[in-house]
Amino acid sequence: MTSIPILREREGQIYQKGREPFKMSCGKHSLAGSVSQRACVFCGSRVVLYPIADALHLIHGPIGCAAYTWDIRGALSSGPTLHRYSFSTDLREKDVIFGGEKKLYSALCQLIDAHQPKAAFVYSTCIVGIIGDDVEAVCKKVAKEKGIPVLPVHSEGFKGTKKDGYQAACDALFKLVGEGPTEAVSPCSINILGEFNIGGEAWMIRDYYKRMGVEVVSVMTGDGRVDDVRRSHGAALNVVQCSGAMTFLAEMMKERFGTPYIRVSYFGLEDQSKALYDVAAHFSDHPEIMAKTREIVREEISAVYPELQRIKPDLEGKRAAIYVGGAFKAFSLIKALRYLGMDVVLAGSQTGNEADYEMLRDMCDDGTVILDDANPLELSKYIIEKKADLFIGGVKERPIAFKMGIGFCDHNHERKIPLAGYEGMLNFAREVHATVTSPVWKFAPKAVIS
Amino acid sequence: MFSEEKTEEYTATKNACKLCTPLGASLVFKGIQGAVPLLHGSQGCSTYIRRYLISHFKEPIDIACSNFAEDTAIFGGGANLRIALENILLQYAPEMVGIATTCLSETIGDDVPMFIREFKEMHRGEEMPPLVHISTPSYQGTHMQGFHGAVRATVEALATDQGADDRKANDQKANEKTRVNLFPGMLSPEDLRHLREILTDFGLGFTLLPDYSETLDGPLWTEYQRIPAGGTTVDAIGRTGSAAGSLEFGRVLAAEKNTAGKFLEKEFGVKCHSLGLPIGIGETDRFFKTLEFITGMPTPPRYAEARGRLTDALVDGHKYVSRVKAAVFGEEDLVVGIVSFLSEIGVIPVLCASGGRSGHMVGKIAEIIPDYENKGIRILEDADFVDIEAAAEEVKPDLFIGNSKGYTSARRLNAPLIRIGFPVHDRINGGRLLHVGYAGAQRLFDRIANTVIGKRQDDSSWGYTYM
Ligand code: SF4
Ligand code: SF4
């Protein structure tokens, strides 16, 4: 096979476990001309805030950013569905020349009148930063006139990476935190952070905690409501899933309100159970919570266990490649795949930091390829070399896997089925099983690897 | 600070029925052999555009980006463009790079043609693929402007009349098959394959631009194709200046002054035949007539046969679709094409809508249905899906015909959606939908008639089976 040249500037972002020295040069801006799988600051903000269903989300800029993110997430709401619209100021040439403030102002006013949202988020995209609209001032004015919070989200795409978008979203959310009443909040209460209710995941997780006797004040932002965010400072503990997205908010809440936080993951039986036990441990002066937790974990695992056992033999020894947004998700996936008897041959993320990659190195077997901010050429090269049977990633990775004739599992914000929690693990196993054991691969020509 | 007067004139776009300019340009570049699209701007745009195209075509789509950072936005994108080009040349070894700007690089006023000149200067003496540039600020148009603009820019950059001189000088070349240019517009890979078949059956040589019928609808690979095989060759584009004629599809496009076909006519005297998208019988007839005119050959019998079967099917099914009300939406030329077909089979396009804003769509529909107002037909330009749904609530269509983006509206109004055009991202056959030619009309008719029949069947308490 013809070898695909790896760009020299990218060499520091590719590592094979076992080779020395290990020094991932991550956290860099993507290299110009390399086809990065990354998105932008705006993308990060939109992902985090998207599920707040009773807020207005208005994207200030030309049409693209809004059009491409219309109803793109799998985040479900149990009530209002305002989040599933795609509102844009759709800037035209004259707005770019004369400024878009007027348009923003009236678009905001009209939308608020029409939809009566609890709050409004205004996302600035790239050119807004250039034409110099005073988005802050417009938001302030509208907030005063309409009597709802109107929050600017500084998400100009070029001003950093997706992570900066998380930060911008957290900054906007933080303006709501502390504004609502907390008298009724139980001392055994938590907020769930970084859980976006993809396919109803937040509902499942909320339910576990409720059954444990722990009150969930807010989920940020899955099935989100503005009023819940406003009273979230009343919770005794923040439970943060996934390193990337909402640790910023947890930090800010810790500083301002003294709310402690722990980090968890809801993917895989092991991590999901730990996520419940860790919360129970936090409320150790209520031992009944731990007792109840043990019961729930036992119950939930025994409900999915037989089916998982049936699936496992077919997956034994199959090889998986993982390329996801945040590194934390990769950790959980490695554990979940191991539980299913599979080997991980490639693990990478778009936004991992040094500590994340060290952790990945420690978790992975010898020979595993670890990648930061990879592109299709690198991903395809290594999935062939490592003879992967399965690729786990997002929509942009899917056709790479399929073209190369291997199975694929979607694991991103766009999927529509829950993969978190116990039930989610079963969905995950079923999806992996369905794709890896499909008879269609026998029609796929296989590369001859010398 | 801004003034408050006349605020009511500005409304938000809610659920756009259009996409942004560089998407159209990227798609064109994906239809050129060995070409890599490069978006000059920040990373998000190219990733979003890739993601969007992937969900329709279900193929890997590599689009490079020059990756602006904060300092790039301040100091200009020259250095980033240079690095991007170098990396692309190294990693992709392209036969062409298609460079489209995003809103950001347009707004800061990057002089891309100058950057390209400087780049070529720096690499003087080295072999360099053509670097084709098109300016695509989205605040000036939609994905269709980007699409047609990229076709035109590519032709402008590459076309010569070299072939014509060669032909005169070289007797052997004089025997070369008659060659035509076909600028098909934004059709599906299946459409493009069908058009290639038709031109081949007429014994023509041709340049079909763009042609992503293979690059975006190909077989499995054993190794990653940096640039998928297929597409119009740079060479063939070079010869567009010496073709026997150009055919350019799109009634709305025909109203534009500046198109690839018109450029070739003006610069090289290649006659431009502006036609509607060949959707339905009348427009397909016109297409075949033009081919007969250019080649002096009659239409090959298989097409006459297909036309015969089609008219037979229209008669068999006419009562089921007659006076059925349809809401049609999507890019302007596709809407006009579908309207033309619907008006042939007795379906009333009660609502015709597009997010496009060329200003030509109403006039083009009026050419097809002059009394459209009397028929209660509503036409919306520069519309979004909230506008479309509101209008649909009034005119109560029996079915929707358009892309997947109409699904939520169709669902709310309990009318079936017949998916055509782009994007089709909630079904798996986006690339394999056939719209054009007699065969395309046949498939569209079957789908429309069967959808109506199926709906009536499902809605009836009897669940009848015979016709
Ligand atoms: S900035 Fe312009 S090019 Fe980029 S996504 Fe938005 S509309 Fe499209
Ligand atoms: S990079 Fe800028 S313009 Fe492009 S999608 Fe992101 S915010 Fe929008």
* B177-213+227-300 classified as CATH 3.40.50.1980: yes
Q: Does the structure show a pLDDT above 50 at B5?
A: no
Please list, residue by residue across A285-308, b when 16 or more beta carbons sit within 10 angstroms of its beta carbon and e when fewer do: ebeebbebbeebbeebeeebeeeb
**Contact criterion met (CB < 8 Å) for A63 and B42:** no
pLDDT tens for residues A33-71?
Answer: 888 888 899 999 999 999 999 999 999 999 999 999 999
Q: Compare CB distances from A106 to B7, B42, B55 and report the shortest one's residue.
A: B7
Share of chain B above pLDDT 90, in %: 89
Give me ligand 2 centre to Cα A42, in Å: 6
What is the Cα–Cα distance from B76 to A41, expressed in whole angstroms? 19
**What is A8-34+315-415's CATH number, 1.20.1740.10, 1.10.150.120, 3.90.1170.50, 3.40.50.1980?**
3.40.50.1980
Q: What average pLDDT does the structure give for chain B? A: 94
The whole model's pTM is what?
0.95
Q: Whose CA is nearest to atom 7 of ligand 1?
A: A64
B98 pLDDT band (50/70/90 cuts)? very high
Shortest alpha-carbon distance between residue B155 and chain A (Å)? 24
Q: Does the structure show a pLDDT above 50 at B294?
A: yes
Over residues A203-228, mean pLDDT: 97
- Whether ligand 2 lies within 6 angstroms of the CB of B42 is answered as yes
- What pLDDT is recorded for position B168? 54
Sheet of A407-410: strand order equals A14-16, A369-372, A343-349, A319-324, A390-393, A407-410
Q: Tokens representing A324?
A: 């996801």
Query: Using a CB-CB distance cutoff of 8 angstroms, which residues of chain A are in contact with residue B15?
Result: 70, 85-86
In 3D, which of A131, A121, A124 has the Cα closest to residue A154? A124
Q: Does the structure show a pLDDT above 80 at B409?
A: yes
Tell me if chain A has a CB within 8 Å of the CB of B457: no
A433 pLDDT band (50/70/90 cuts)? very high
Residues having CB within 6 Å of any atom of ligand 1: A 61-65, 126; B 20, 22, 45, 48, 102-104, 138
B177 pLDDT band (50/70/90 cuts)? confident
Higher pLDDT, B177 or A164: A164
- What pLDDT is recorded for position A1? 39
- Whether ligand 2 lies within 6 angstroms of the CB of B73 is answered as no
Q: How far is CA A308 from the centre of its chain?
A: 25
Query: Using a CB-CB distance cutoff of 8 angstroms, which residues of chain B are in contact with residue A101?
Result: 1-2
Q: Does the structure show a pLDDT above 80 at B384?
A: yes
Over residues B350-369, mean pLDDT: 97
Q: Compare CB distances from A30 to B58, B67, B103 and report the shortest one's residue.
A: B67
* B21-157 classified as CATH 3.40.50.1980: yes
- What pLDDT is recorded for position A243? 67
Give me ligand 1 centre to Cα A157, in Å: 10
Is residue A65 within 8 A of residue A124, CB to CB? The reply is: no
Query: Using a CB-CB distance cutoff of 8 angstroms, which residues of chain A are in contact with residue B138?
Result: 62-64
Q: Is B295 helix (H, G, I), strand (E, B) or coil?
A: helix
Domain boundaries, chain B: 21-157, 177-213+227-300, 303-459
In terms of CA atoms, which chain B residue is nearest residue A72?
B52
What is the Cα–Cα distance from A144 to A136, expressed in whole angstroms? 12
Structural element, H or E, at residue B273: strand B272-275
For the B303-459 domain, the top CATH level (class) is alpha beta
Q: How far is CA B267 from the centre of its chain?
A: 24
Q: Tokens representing A127?
A: 């050119």
Domain boundaries, chain A: 8-34+315-415, 41-160, 189-305
Lowest mean pLDDT among A231-235, A248-252, A367-371, B130-134: A367-371
State the sign of the Cα–Cα–Cα–Cα dihedral B150, B153, B157, B161.
positive
- Are B177-213+227-300 and B303-459 in the same CATH fold? yes
What is the Cα–Cα distance from B311 to B296, expressed in whole angstroms? 25
Q: Does the structure show a pLDDT above 50 at B2?
A: no
Q: Compare CB distances from A96 to B60, B61, B139 and report the shortest one's residue.
A: B139
- What pLDDT is recorded for position B396? 97
Distances in Å between the Cα of B321 and the Cα atoms of A301, A407, B391, B457 are: 55, 42, 22, 14
Is residue B29 within 8 A of residue B152, CB to CB? The reply is: no
Helix/strand/coil (H/E/C) assignment for every residue in chain A: CCCCCCCHHHHHHEEECCCCCCCCCCCCCCCCCCCCCCCCHHHHHHHHHCCECCEEEEEECCHHHHHHCCCCCCECCCCCCHHHCCEECCCCHHHHHHCCHHHHHHHHHHHHHHHCCCEEEEEECHHHHHHCCCHHHHHHHHHHHHCCCEEEEECCCCCCCHHHHHHHHHHHHHCCCCCCCCCCCCCCEEEEEEECCECCHHHHHHHHHHHHCCEEEEEEECCECHHHHHCHHHCCEEEEECHHHHHHHHHHHHHHHCCCEEEECCCCHHHHHHHHHHHHHHCCCCHHHHHHHHHHHHHHHHHHHHHHHHHHHHHCCCEEEEEECCHHHHHHHHHHHHHCCCEEEEEEECCCCHHHHHHHHHHCCCCCEEEECCCHHHHHHHHHHCCCCEEEECCCCHHHHHHCCCEEEECCCCCCCCCCHHHHHHHHHHHHHHHHCCHHHHHCCCCCCC
Q: Does the structure show a pLDDT above 80 at A278?
A: yes
Instruction: Give the CATH fold of the A189-305 domain.
Output: Rossmann fold (3.40.50)
Q: Which of A403, A415, A416 to mutate to test the interface with B (most CBs of B within 10 A)?
A: A403
Q: Is A396 exposed, middle or buried (0-12, 13-18, 19+ CB in 10 A)?
A: buried
Name residues 20-79 of chain B within 8 A of A (Cβ). 20, 22-23, 38, 41-52, 54-55, 58-70, 72-73
Query: Using a CB-CB distance cutoff of 8 angstroms, which residues of chain B are in contact with residue A87?
Result: 12-14
Q: Which amino acid is at A11?
A: E
Over residues A237-252, mean pLDDT: 91
**Contact criterion met (CB < 8 Å) for A33 and B88:** yes
- What pLDDT is recorded for position A447? 66
Over residues A220-230, mean pLDDT: 97
- What pLDDT is recorded for position A8? 78
Q: What average pLDDT does the structure give for chain A? A: 93
**Contact criterion met (CB < 8 Å) for B103 and A61:** yes
pLDDT tens for residues A79-106?
Answer: 999 999 999 999 999 999 999 999 999 9
Instruction: Give the CATH fold of the A41-160 domain.
Output: Rossmann fold (3.40.50)
In 3D, which of B461, B323, B295 has the Cα closest to residue B399? B323
B466 pLDDT band (50/70/90 cuts)? confident
In 3D, which of B263, B252, B97 has the Cα closest to residue B186? B252
ipTM: 0.94
Q: Compare CB distances from A67 to B20, B80, B386 and report the shortest one's residue.
A: B20
pLDDT tens for residues A10-25?
Answer: 888 888 877 766 778 8
- What pLDDT is recorded for position B6? 43
Is residue B299 within 8 A of residue B204, CB to CB? The reply is: no
